[in-house]
Structure 1
Amino acid sequence: MNQIKILHCADLHLGAELSSLGNAARQRREEMLMTFDRIVSLCREEKVELLLIAGDLFESSGVDIGLVHSVQKSLSEIPDTAVAIAPGNHDYISADSPYSEEGWPVNVHIFQSGLTSFELPEKGVCVWGAAFTGTYVTETLLQEPSISQDNTIQICVMHGDLTAENQTSNYNPISPVQIRFSGFDYLALGHIHKRTEILKSGATAYAYCGCPEGRGFDELDEKGVYIGTVYKGGTDLAFRPVCKRMNLEVPVDISGAATNQEAAAIVLHTLKQRYGDCCAENLYKVRLEGALDASYTPDCAAIAVRLADEFYYIKIKDETHVQADLSEFAKENSLKGIFVRKMLDKIDGCKAEEQESQYRRALYIGLKAFDSEVTLNEN
């Protein structure tokens, strides 16, 4: 059976500022480039025949020229791997695009505009793709291609936004119906940073591989690429983690803690227990939860300082509540009692979990205010 081994990656956003990481931003930018090098090494080690890069390899057209040269050099070191790049909405084709620089190796094909293809005749493969030529593409780039009806494997790489039929998008809208009638054996997608499973529409398999390295706490958990084989009418692809670090959002119950030192110790123990040997390497957003005595309000900045030497990056958010018998407070013939009763009524009337959480949080902050415990950073 004719087949080809591929690696599908997307959305590396090399050159991103990552300003939210402060002093760690420069190191993290270099680590993202190292992750790209790791993907290239994976192609070499596993004899990948076709590397598909589904857009936003670079953060923008204004990235450092040295970064572009580093990418070019890495790709030149896998001459036996054909590389297909479909520029996305961040690194779209333009006069000052990174793709306009000289020095791209001969094994790299960069799509320049609408849907076109190139052949890998010795592999029995036709590779299709299209490029963004501006920040926005409101009309689909997945025009129905003219595909031969022989046994040639048909693969497409594209940056775009999966939408329902007739739904609009500024980022190359692609519907499952279009995919069904495309005639492709595999459609490698980029743009959405959370990976999907390998999906099917008709005979066409398609997927987002997600980003290989999370850039913030909206890109959580393990990140990587898809690697495996594509053959006529099917795929055998598996997710492969490649990220240097994970962004993790973790709730930690600190019930009973009475000082910042105790709270920090509970956080440290919880993270070490949950993530083991690689615990220190990750980036954490920790949500403090649980019931605390009204006499103690966690100082998030102070707790983060106590943990700074234990982790690569950590930020703390206080979502604890006052340890209190609300039913007893509600019985009081006082301003506090009236406040508690009204807030409990609002909570009981909530239909959305997020709204209920907000009201409950407001209730506990209000109780601290009655005990003169609220500080300016209580929000």
Structure 2
Amino acid sequence: MNKIKILHCADLHLGAELSSLGSKAGQRREEMLMTFDGIVSICRKENVELLLIAGDFFESTGPDSVVVRSVKKALSEIPETAVAIAPGNHDYVSLDSPYADQDWPENVHIFQSGFDCFELPGKGVRVWGAGFTGTYVTEPLLGESGAPEDDLLNICVLHGDLVAENQSSNYNPVTPSRIRFSGMDYLALGHIHMRTEILHSGKTAYAYCGCPEGRGFDELGEKGVYIGTVMKDRAELAFRPVCRRKNLEVRVDIGGVSANNEAAAVVLHTLQQQFGETYADNLYKIILEGALDVSYSPDCTGVAARLENELYYVKIKDETHLQADLGALSRETSLKGIFVRRMLEKINAASGEPQKEQCRRALDIGLKAFDSEVKRNEN
């Protein structure tokens, strides 16, 4: 029975500016490149026969030449591993893109445009794919006619957007029916940065592996690749974490504290308890919550400053609320009393929990304004 060991990765976005990280941006750019080096190392150490890179390998069509040279050198060091790259919407094929270079290692195949395939000599495997040639691809790249019905394994790598039947997309729409009739044994997808489980449409297994490194707080948690064996009508693949750091969003109850240093201490203790010895290595978005006395409102910049020497990167958001007797306040004849009464009426009349929470937040901000406690906090 034909079988092949593969590693499926996507959306590395090498060369991304990461400007939101400030002074940490340069280090994180290099770490993302080091993560790719780690993927190559896995291929070498674990005898991966086929490395699939499903688009947005680079952040743009014109990445820094140092990044490109580093990538080419790394791939040249795994000559026994075939590498198939399907350019995506960020790093689409163009005359001046690195994909037009003639000095890629011999083991690397880059799909330049329409749906096509090549065979791996002696492996009994066809590798299919296609490349973006612009930012937008509205017509499906996955071929309508299925792969030949023979003994060869058929593996496909594509950057694309999984959509429902008859749904459109600007990023290579891929429908379950096209997957079902493709004749592929495995379809390696890129574009969506959150991984899926190994899915099936007919006899074809397919998946998004997600990105190997999160670039922001919209890409939370463990990131990695899929690795394993593909056989006829069967894919035995497992998720492998490879990220050097995780982006994490953590809610911390600081109820009862009365100063920034106390708030920072509670945050640090919470992270130590939740993430153990490696807590300091991650990038955190900390959301402060809990009831506070009117005498203290967290200064997000100040709390972050107290944590900067303890954590690799931290961003603070204040969602605390005042510890106040709203019933008593609503009975006051003052402007504050009128405001509280009106807001409580809005909360009671709100149609759902999200709307109620929005009104509660507006009430809290209003009370802080009455007590001159509103600060310019980081969001």
Same-fold call, TM > 0.5? yes
Residue 98 of structure 2 corresponds to 98
Conserved 8 A contact 2:85-2:157? yes
- Give the deviation of 1:353 after TM superposition: 3.5
CA distance in 2, matches of 1:162, 1:43: 27
* 1:149 and 2:149 are equivalent in the alignment: yes
Residue 294 of structure 2 corresponds to 294
- Give the deviation of 1:163 after TM superposition: 0.7
1:32-69, Cα deviation, whole Å (9 max, x unpaired): 00000000000011110000000000001221112111
Conserved 8 A contact 1:288-1:317? yes
Conserved 8 A contact 2:111-2:129? yes
Once the two structures are superposed, the pairs formed by residues 153-232 of structure 1 within 5 Å of their partners are 153-232=153-232
Residue 5 of structure 1 corresponds to 5
The two structures, once aligned, show a CA RMSD in angstroms of 1.3
Residue 70 of structure 2 corresponds to 70
CA distance in 2, matches of 1:104, 1:260: 54
Aligned residues: 379
Unaligned ranges ≥5, structure 1 = none
Between 1:169-178 and 1:143-152, the stretch displaced more is: 143-152
Between 1:275-284 and 1:139-148, the stretch displaced more is: 139-148
Residues 239/374 of structure 1: CA separation in 2 closer, same or farther (3 Å cut): same
- Give the deviation of 1:325 after TM superposition: 2.2
SS at match of 2:248: strand
Residues 176/143 of structure 1: CA separation in 2 closer, same or farther (3 Å cut): same
CA distance in 2, matches of 1:210, 1:91: 17
CA distance in 2, matches of 1:78, 1:351: 59
CA distance in 2, matches of 1:108, 1:378: 45
Residue 307 of structure 1 corresponds to 307
* 1:29 and 2:29 are equivalent in the alignment: yes
Give the fraction of aligned pairs with identical amino acids, expressed as a percent.
Answer: 72
SS at match of 2:304: helix
Unaligned ranges ≥5, structure 2 = none
Letter in 1 for 2:329: F
- Give the deviation of 1:372 after TM superposition: 2.3
- Give the deviation of 1:222 after TM superposition: 0.5
Residue 248 of structure 1 corresponds to 248
Conserved 8 A contact 1:5-1:227? yes
Residue 114 of structure 1 corresponds to 114
Between 1:97-106 and 1:303-312, the stretch displaced more is: 97-106
CA distance in 1, matches of 2:4, 2:366: 63
CA distance in 2, matches of 1:166, 1:49: 36
Once the two structures are superposed, the pairs formed by residues 244-283 of structure 1 within 5 Å of their partners are 244-283=244-283
1:149-185, Cα deviation, whole Å (9 max, x unpaired): 1121111000000111111111001111111111111
Residues 121/377 of structure 1: CA separation in 2 closer, same or farther (3 Å cut): closer
Letter in 1 for 2:290: G
Once the two structures are superposed, the pairs formed by residues 83-94 of structure 1 within 5 Å of their partners are 83-94=83-94
Conserved 8 A contact 1:264-1:303? yes
Conserved 8 A contact 1:69-1:103? no
- Give the deviation of 1:356 after TM superposition: 2.6
Between 1:115-124 and 1:369-378, the stretch displaced more is: 369-378
Residue 368 of structure 1 corresponds to 368
CA distance in 2, matches of 1:26, 1:368: 39
Letter in 1 for 2:236: D
- Give the deviation of 1:124 after TM superposition: 1.1
Between 1:278-287 and 1:326-335, the stretch displaced more is: 326-335
- Give the deviation of 1:338 after TM superposition: 1.9
Letter in 2 for 1:215: R
1:337-379, Cα deviation, whole Å (9 max, x unpaired): 2211221222223334433322211101111222222234488
SS at match of 1:29: helix
1:93-135, Cα deviation, whole Å (9 max, x unpaired): 0001111123200000000111100011411111100000000
CA distance in 1, matches of 2:126, 2:310: 50
Residues 304/378 of structure 1: CA separation in 2 closer, same or farther (3 Å cut): closer
SS at match of 1:214: coil
